[in-house]
Amino acid sequence: MRAVVFERFGGRPEVRELPDPAPSPEGVVVRVEATGVCRSDWHGWQGHDPDIALPHVPGHELSGTVAATGARVTRFRAGDRVTVPFVCACGTCPACAQGDQQVCERQTQPGFTHHGSFAEYVALDHADTNLVGLPDGLAHPTAAGLGCRFATAHRAVTARGRVAPGEWVAVHGCGGVGLSAVMIAAAAGARVLAVDVSPDALELARRFGAEVCLDARVGVVPADSAVRPGSGGEVAAAVRELTGGGAHLSLDALGSPATCVASVEGLRRRGRHVQVGLLPPATGRPVVPMDRVIAHELEILGSHGMAAHAYPALLAQVADGTLRPDLLVTAVRPLAEAPDALAALGAAPGVPGITVIEPWA
Ligand SMILES: [Zn+2]
Ligand SMILES: [Zn+2]
């Protein structure tokens, strides 16, 4: 099969021939019809993920059709259209037994713990626990994002963030996961404030339901404001001013020390911060103001993907048009262009929207 491979961290990935994968007894091989290019892939390529062994094939948010099944797979068969949470759970550890497969103790992740979906085929383990069947009407490029960003954002805003109608929701970072969060929070009836350094990303955020957009570099605040935003605490001050005291719920959807701290400091009293963007230690650890956390009774929450069994509620909202993940896909490119698409994630401001690779195009 053809796959995108890198030999060393940060080295130029290239498309080359690799042996086709074979399914494990409880696993499947999926023919990859679409796979999203995600910031986590960029982190992995840069060497920020200790699970990755070289040479490596990135890619973890995919949609496709089952091509081969292991002997012990009972719920899926060849030809089924599927996606999969990027956290593939074991199904039997204590976390899985409680229904928390998204934090499985023996999880595997395509594109991290083994070769991923920037390839014509990908192997996935414990298929009966992890695969999510797709409705016929859901196109593969749209479904790919359900494996990572859209599902992650959905769980972060709803199950973890407990969004309520009328609340202010601040979203720091409007890449794929941030734009998804904007759309999901707006659909839940929240008032959304989007923060980014890219006017193009903010324009998309506005289109997907953000009521207020804040450029973290130059600031978009009322003319009579005393706030002079530019960076760090000034972003948080602008968020508090623009939301009449602070966000009820705030997400760091980028994953950086600056956006994490700005998200926490932009909360109103008793507000909830949800960390969604990865913060690999290599990028520096944020200094979270715990004095503010206690004085204002803030909640600091993490959100890590979504278990396969939680997908029906999300798929129902997609089916009835409440949520439109199809609108988030701004580019569809062939496998040969995956290396450039991966590299583009390192630029700031990044590429607005979601780029999807179609390996068979
Ligand atoms: Zn991802
Ligand atoms: Zn488990």
Measure 212 CA to ligand 1 centroid, in angstroms: 26
**Which structural domain, as residue segments, surrounds residue 101?**
2-148+306-358
Distance 166 CA to ligand 1 centre (A): 29
> Is residue 320 domain-shared with residue 296, that is, in the same domain?
no
Residues, Cβ < 5 Å to ion ligand 1: 38, 40, 61, 148
- 230 pLDDT higher than 60: no
Ligand 2 mean position, distance from CA 107 (Å): 6
How many angstroms is it from 249 CA to the middle of ligand 1? 22
CATH at 195: 3.40.50.720
Q: Which ligand is nearest to the CA of 101?
A: 2
Same domain? For 218 and 255 the reply is yes
- Ligand 1 centre to CA of 151 (Å) is 10
Do 141 and 157 reside in the same domain of the chain?
no
Condensed to tens digits (0 to 9), the pLDDT of residues 302-336 reads 999 999 999 999 999 999 999 999 999 989 999 99
pLDDT digit string, tens, across residues 150-166 = 999 999 999 999 999 99
Span from the CA of 102 to the centroid of ligand 2 (angstroms): 8
Interval between CA 255 and ligand 2 midpoint (Å): 25
Whole-number Å distance, alpha carbon 304 to ligand 1 midpoint, is: 11
Task: Look at the chain and report how many structural domains it folds into.
Answer: 2
- Check whether residue 143 and residue 156 sit in a common domain: no
Dist. CA 90–CA 273, nearest whole Å:
29
pLDDT at residue 208 tops 80: yes
Q: Are residues 196 and 240 in the same domain?
A: yes
SS3 string, the chain, reads CEEEEECCCCCCCEEEECCCCCCCCCCEEEEEEEEECCHHHHHHHCCCCCCCCCCECCCCCEEEEEEEECCCCCCCCCCCEEECCCCECCCCCHHHHCCCHHHCCCCECECCCECCCCECEEEECCHHHHCEECCCCCCHHHHHHHHCHHHHHHHHHHHHCCCCCCCEEEEECCCHHHHHHHHHHHHCCCEEEEEECCHHHHHHHHHCCEEEEEECCCCCCCCCCCCCCCCCHHHHHHHHHHCCCCEEEEEECCCCHHHHHHHHHCEEEEEEEEECCCCCHHHCCCCCCHHHHHHCCCEEEECCCCCHHHHHHHHHHHHCCCCCHHHHEEEEEEHHHHHHHHHHCCCCCCCCCEEEEECCC
CATH number at residue 103: 3.90.180.10
- Shared domain for 124 and 213, answered yes or no, is no
pLDDT at 226: 45
pLDDT at 300: 98
Residue burial 218-229, b: 16+ Cβ < 10 Å; e: rest: ebebeeeeebeb
Mean pLDDT of the chain: 93
Q: Which of 261, 285, 302 is the last residue of a domain?
A: 302
28 shares its domain with 142: yes
Is the pLDDT assigned to residue 65 strictly greater than 80? yes
Q: Tell me, yes or no, whether 162 and 197 share the same domain.
A: yes
Ligand 2 centre from 100 Cα, in Å?
Answer: 8
Q: How far apart are CA 169 and CA 171, in angstroms?
A: 6
One domain, residues 143 and 247 = no
Ligand approaching nearest to the C-alpha of 354: 1
> How close is the Cα of 337 to the center of ligand 1, in Å?
18
Q: Sorting pLDDT into bands at 50, 70 and 90, what band is 229? A: very low
* 262-300 pLDDT tens trace: 999 999 999 999 999 988 888 889 999 999 999 999 999
Residues 170 and 125 in one domain: no
pLDDT one-digit tens code per residue, 346-357? 876 667 788 999
Question: Does the pLDDT value for residue 223 go beyond 50?
Answer: no
Same domain, 122 and 161: no
